[in-house]
């Protein structure tokens, strides 16, 4: 019985010392997240153009927009939302103005921008006023340009 008791105590002591050593090793390392939390956002795209001149000619009716250049093509976006109902509301606004749009999706990882977009979505959900819809789109696009 004494043999087993001594063996158990020595095993526990060795286990404790090894665990303390392992924890100290991890304290000195930087830990980076493996996965970024991202959120899917809907982009309301107005068009794709082969040159900046063509883009500028075809966006004269737009008061506010952002664009990205991918493979030498200019992609123009007039709105953004996390909520599909709000996307429809924005799309209908532009449709009433005679501007055709399509929906694209993107992943957002900037937590501050995502929170701002959620706030704008809450306001947008509660309104049908065209000026308010346009102002919210303007604010979201402006905030997105800053990021």
Give the pLDDT confidence of 60-84 residue by residue, as tens digits.
999 899 999 999 999 999 999 999 9
Q: Find, among 96, 144, 46, 63, the residue nearest to 55 by Cα.
A: 46
> What is the pLDDT confidence band of residue 25, given thresholds at 50, 70 and 90?
confident
- Vertex 122: Cα angle to 120 and 125 (nearest 5): 105
Q: For the chain, give every domain's residue range.
A: 39-146
Residue 8: per-residue pLDDT? 79
Residue 30: per-residue pLDDT? 63
Q: Give the tokens for residue 27.
A: 């304290």
> What is the pLDDT confidence band of residue 91, given thresholds at 50, 70 and 90?
very high
**What topology is assigned to 39-146 in CATH?**
Alpha-Beta Plaits (3.30.70)
Burial 20-53 (b: 16+ CB within 10 A, else e): eeeeeeeeeeeeeeeeeeebebbbbbbbebeeee
* 129 burial via Cβ count (<10 Å: 0-12, 13-18, 19+): exposed
Residue 11: per-residue pLDDT? 84
Residue 147: per-residue pLDDT? 60
Q: Give the tokens for residue 83.
A: 């909520």
Give the pTM: 0.72
């Amino acid at each position: 019985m004494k043999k087993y008791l001594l063996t158990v105590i020595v095993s526990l002591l060795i286990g404790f010392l090894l665990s303390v050593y392992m924890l100290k090793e991890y304290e000195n390392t930087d830990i980076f997240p493996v996965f970024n939390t991202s959120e899917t956002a809907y982009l309301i795209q107005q068009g794709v153009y082969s040159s900046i001149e063509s883009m500028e000619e075809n966006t004269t009716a737009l008061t506010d927009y952002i664009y990205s250049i991918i493979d030498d093509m200019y992609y123009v976006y007039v709105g953004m939302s996390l909520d599909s109902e709000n996307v429809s509301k924005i799309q209908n606004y532009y449709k009433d103005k005679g501007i055709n749009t399509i929906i694209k999706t993107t992943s957002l990882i900037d937590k501050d921008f995502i929170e701002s977009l959620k706030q704008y979505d809450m306001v947008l959900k509660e309104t049908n006023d065209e000026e308010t819809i346009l102002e919210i789109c303007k604010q979201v696009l402006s905030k997105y340009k800053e990021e």
